[in-house]
Amino acid sequence: DADVTQTPRNRITKTGKRIMLECSQTKGHDRMYWYRQDPGLGLRLIYYSFDVKDINKGEISDGYSVSRQAQAKFSLSLESAIPNQTALYFCATSDAWGNQPQHFGDGTRLSIL
Amino acid sequence: KQEVTQIPAALSVPEGENLVLNCSFTDSAIYNLQWFRQDPGKGLTSLLLIQSSQREQTSGRLNASLDKSSGRSTLYIAASQPGDSATYLCAVRLSNFGNEKLTFGTGTRLTIIP
């Protein structure tokens, strides 16, 4: 089983719909992250969480919200999806000090029509 | 603002050749630098992580170097194989305590020709 699992892997939906992307991890890491990847722009950080009670905005948090339900679960929501949120979304985890590499899930390909 | 650049965007080399991928960054006050591999339809797999105090890291056929003063890192792949075909990304983390942000380059898409 994968250490970092994202669901769904693919999603096509319409403008204005609410969408939730889920991430769960078995690595026991405290820190979890949500990124989006767009062609030509690289990965950009949306939100990150140091632990269940600590949520922080990344560089592109507008239009997104997150929930850290447990140490192992971190979900990303698009309250009212718009086409320019079409992207590949990744969840990642790291240890408490960030001295070890971040571990990534396989991504969710999201298309907003 | 930290910017990370990877040139070239794409590279094709015959199998068996040694090759170097380049990564440059604008702010030398980094905490660490990571090299990742991304396969189509997959997430990122960490290859090597270099702390700011280190000059290089090695894993098998891979060797990554770091020159903070010049804002450069290289990933050297020896004796390339078709299985090395993937997109390679570098990412830097700033030194600010608690700053979790990784700034990624846009990657180099590597194709090894059998």
Given pLDDT bands bounded at 50, 70 and 90, which one contains residue B100? low
End-to-end CA distance of chain B: 41
Mean per-residue pLDDT, A2-23: 94
Chain B CA closest to residue A55: B100
The predicted pLDDT at position A42 comes to 84
Quote the pLDDT of residue B96: 63
What percentage of chain B reaches a pLDDT higher than 70?
95
pLDDT of A2 reads 67
d(CA B6, CA A88): 20
The DSSP symbol for B33 reads E
Token pair of B108 as six digits: 């180099």
**Cβ separation B51–A99 shorter than 8 A:** yes
> CB-CB: which of B43, B49, B104 is closest to A106?
B43
Average pLDDT over residues B4-17: 96
Assess contact for A104 and A6: CB atoms under 8 A: no
> Can you tell me the distance from the alpha carbon of B7 to that of B23, in angstroms, rounded to the nearest whole number?
7
- Rounded to whole angstroms, the Cα distance separating A110 from A113 reads 10
- Whether residues A42 and B34 touch (CB distance < 8 A) is answered with no
C-alpha A36/C-alpha A79 separation (Å) is 16
What pLDDT sits at residue B1?
81
* Residue B95 reports pLDDT greater than 90: no
pLDDT, tens digit, for every residue of A80-104?
999 999 999 999 998 866 667 788 9
Chain A residues with CB-CB distance to B101 below 8 A: 45, 58-59
Which residue reads 């979900």 in tokens?
A75
d(C-alpha A3, C-alpha B68), whole Å = 32
Instruction: Write the pLDDT tens digit of every residue in A19-76.
Output: 999 999 999 998 999 999 998 788 999 999 988 999 999 989 999 999 999 999 999 9
Q: What pLDDT shows up at residue A14?
A: 96
Q: Considering chain B, what is the average pLDDT of its residues?
A: 92
Q: Phi, psi (5° rounding) for residue B8?
A: -85, 170
Query: At residue A13, does pLDDT exceed 90?
Result: yes
Residue B34's pLDDT is what?
94
Which residue of chain B has the CA closest to A45? B101
**Residue range B34-41: average pLDDT?**
91
In this complex, do B104 and A99 lie within 8 Å of one another by their Cβ atoms?
Answer: no
